[in-house]
Amino acid sequence: MEIETEMQVQQDNFLVPTVHYLKSGIHIGTKFKTKYMQKFIYKTRPDGLSVLNIQKIDERIRIAAGFLAQYNPEDILVVSRRETGLSALKLFNKLTGIHIMGGRYPPGMMTNINLSTFIEPKLVLVTDAWPDRNAVMDANKIGIPVIALCDTNNQANFIDIVLPCNNKGKKSLGLLFYLLTVEYLRIRGKISKPEELGATMEDFTEK
């Protein structure tokens, strides 16, 4: 009984009810798992898929949002080669003002001042450390921190904050960027509750 009560308290403190995490599939990993991600994995299903620990996902979203909130929007760059999260990312940009780079990241964007796309962020977030590896490497070259959304198959080299999640699914990425938007704006004092956001969870996850 005490264990059940403790689990209920943990769930009551989640950023959203557990059902939203489960519906989005944010915890469903891949059939591959690396040593870097082992501590975030709850179990491996009979079909071979690894399942991420929802409590750890919730904790890491809070940590990532708190770190993001230390920076002004113009000093942050979010890079996503994956198209599945692009609509949510555009809404994230609209509501927070944080720069986004969808599609292929041009190497040198943060290091070559001669490029027309040159930008000087102070923090980078990538939706997948592998397809977005050029952005991760550029960030490391100039010595700025990197937050990465990492699935069970990701490496964590050159990453400062690992945010465990299903970084491939549209609903998963939608929910994640919704929560990062709410928490970023709340911590910076722009809103006090999600209802003040001007967009709903469904706007991020359903479109």
Terminus-to-terminus CA distance in the chain, angstroms? Answer: 41
Token digits for 69? 């909130």
Percent of the chain's residues with pLDDT above 90:
83
Summarised one tens digit per residue, pLDDT across range 112-139 is 999 988 999 999 999 999 999 999 999 9
Q: How confident is the model at residue 11 (pLDDT cuts 50, 70, 90)?
A: low
Summarised one tens digit per residue, pLDDT across range 28-58 is 999 999 999 999 999 999 999 999 999 999 9
pTM of the predicted structure, to 2 decimals:
0.92
- DSSP letters spanning 40-55: GEEEE-TTS-EEE-HH
Summarised one tens digit per residue, pLDDT across range 63-84 is 999 999 999 999 999 999 988 9
Domain containing residue 20: CATH number: 3.40.50.10490
Residue 35, classified by CB atoms within 10 Å of its CB into exposed (0-12), middle (13-18) or buried (19+), is exposed
Q: Considering its fold, how many domains does the chain have in total?
A: 1
Extended beta strands in the chain, E state:
41-44, 50-52, 76-80, 99-102, 123-126, 146-150, 161-164
pLDDT at 13 over 90: no
Domain span holding position 89: 2-205
Summarised one tens digit per residue, pLDDT across range 144-157 is 999 999 999 998 88
